[in-house]
Structure 1
Amino acid sequence: MLVAAPSAFAQTITNEELLERLERLEQQNAELREEVRSLRAEEGIVRVPDTSAEAATNNRNGFVSTNVDYSYRILDHAEDISTKPVVQLRARQNGDLTSSLTLSGQITALANIQQSNRDSKFGYLMRHPTSANQIGENVSEAVIHSANLAVTAQLNDWITGYVELQYSPEQSFGTGTITSLGRNQIEARQAYMIFGNLDESPLYAAIGKLYTPFGLNDSVSPFTNSTNWHAFAGLAYGAQVGYVQDGLMLRAMAIQGGAQFRAHNVPVSGTSVPSRVNNFAVDGNYTFALSDENSAMVGASYTHGSAYCQAYPVFHFNPCDENNPAWSVYGRANFGPLELLGEFASTTKDWPGSAVPDPTNPLSQYEAQRTHSFTLGGRFGFGDQHPNGRYLNAVSLEFSNFRAGDDGAPWERQNQLVLGYSRFVGENINLFAELVHVEGFAPLNFVSGGNFPDGSTWSDRDATTDVLLFGAQAAF
Structure 2
Amino acid sequence: MLKKLTILFLISNFAFAQNDSTTIKTIGFNSEFSYKMLDQNQNLRKVNILLEERKRGTIKNNSLTIGTSLISILDYQHSNTDSKFGYLMRHPTANNQIGKEVSEAVIHSFQLSLTATINSWLSTHVEILYNPQQAFGAGTITSLERNQLQLRKGFVVIGNLETFPLYGALGKMDAPFGQMGSVNPFTNSTTWHAFAGLGYGAQIGYKKGGLHTKLMAVQGGAQFRAMHTPVGNNTKTPSKINNYVADLNYAFNILNKVHLLIGASYLRGSAYCQDFPVTHFSPCNDNNPAYTYYGTVTINERLTIKGGFAKTTKIWKGTHNPTPPLDVFEASKVSALDFGAKYDLNQNSKIKYTLSGEFSNFKAGPKGAPWERQNQMVLGFASLIKKSSKLFLEVFRTEGYAPLNFISGSNDFEPFTPGISHSERDANSIGFVLGAQVSF
Which TM-score applies when normalising by structure 2?
0.91
Amino acid at match of 1:306: S
Distance 1:314 1:467 in 2: 29
Amino acid at match of 2:153: Q
Distance 2:289 2:347 in 1: 45
How far the C-alpha of 1:79 sits from its partner, in A, is: 1.4
Q: Does 1:84 align with 2:35?
A: no
Tell me the SS of whatever aligns to 1:350: coil
Residue 20 (structure 2) aligns with: none
How far the C-alpha of 1:423 sits from its partner, in A, is: 1.1
Are the counterparts in 2 of residues 152 and 163 from structure 1 also a CA contact under 8 Å? Answer: yes
Are the counterparts in 1 of residues 321 and 419 from structure 2 also a CA contact under 8 Å? Answer: no
Distance 1:382 1:134 in 2: 36
Cα RMSD for the two superposed structures:
1.5
How far the C-alpha of 1:425 sits from its partner, in A, is: 2.9
How far the C-alpha of 1:290 sits from its partner, in A, is: 2.5
Q: 2:252 aligns with which of 288, 293, 297?
A: 288
Amino acid at match of 1:355: H
How far the C-alpha of 1:383 sits from its partner, in A, is: 2.1
Residue 12 (structure 2) aligns with: none
How far the C-alpha of 1:293 sits from its partner, in A, is: 2.4
Residue 343 (structure 2) aligns with: 380
Tell me the SS of whatever aligns to 2:91: coil
List gaps (5 residues or longer) in structure 2: 1-16, 18-23
Q: 1:246 aligns with which of 192, 196, 209?
A: 209
Amino acid at match of 1:442: A
Distance 1:286 1:467 in 2: 37
How far the C-alpha of 1:456 sits from its partner, in A, is: 1.2
Q: Does 1:354 align with 2:319?
A: yes
Distance 1:109 1:216 in 2: 26
Distance 1:67 1:193 in 2: 20
Q: 2:116 aligns with which of 148, 153, 174?
A: 153
How far the C-alpha of 1:386 sits from its partner, in A, is: 4.7
Larger Rg, first or second structure (1 or 2): 1
Q: Does 1:473 align with 2:437?
A: yes
Are the counterparts in 1 of residues 409 and 417 from structure 2 also a CA contact under 8 Å? Answer: no
Are the counterparts in 2 of residues 264 and 307 from structure 1 also a CA contact under 8 Å? Answer: yes
Q: Does 1:417 align with 2:381?
A: no
Are the counterparts in 2 of residues 101 and 152 from structure 1 also a CA contact under 8 Å? Answer: yes
In the TM superposition, what are the counterparts of 1:44-83 in structure 2 within 5 Å?
A: 63-81=26-44, 83=45
Are the counterparts in 2 of residues 386 and 427 from structure 1 also a CA contact under 8 Å? Answer: no
Distance 1:386 1:101 in 2: 29
In the TM superposition, what are the counterparts of 1:227-242 in structure 2 within 5 Å?
A: 227-242=190-205
Are the counterparts in 2 of residues 327 and 345 from structure 1 also a CA contact under 8 Å? Answer: yes
Identity %: 48
Residue 12 (structure 1) aligns with: none
Distance 2:347 2:252 in 1: 26
Residue 338 (structure 1) aligns with: 303
Question: How many residue pairs end up in the alignment?
Answer: 412
In the TM superposition, what are the counterparts of 1:63-462 in structure 2 within 5 Å?
A: 63-81=26-44, 83-98=45-60, 100-269=63-232, 270-336=234-300, 337-358=302-323, 361-386=324-349, 392-450=352-410, 451=413, 452-462=416-426
How far the C-alpha of 1:315 sits from its partner, in A, is: 0.9
Residue 21 (structure 2) aligns with: none
Tell me the SS of whatever aligns to 2:334: strand
How far the C-alpha of 1:247 sits from its partner, in A, is: 1.3
Residue 14 (structure 2) aligns with: none
Distance 1:105 1:163 in 2: 12
Q: Which moved more, 1:442-451 or 1:223-232?
A: 442-451
Tell me the SS of whatever aligns to 1:132: coil
List gaps (5 residues or longer) in structure 1: 1-43, 45-60
Amino acid at match of 2:134: Q
Which TM-score applies when normalising by structure 1?
0.85
Q: Deviations over 1:113-160 (max 9, x none)?
A: 100000111000001111111111011010111110000010222111
How far the C-alpha of 1:199 sits from its partner, in A, is: 1.6
How far the C-alpha of 1:292 sits from its partner, in A, is: 4.2
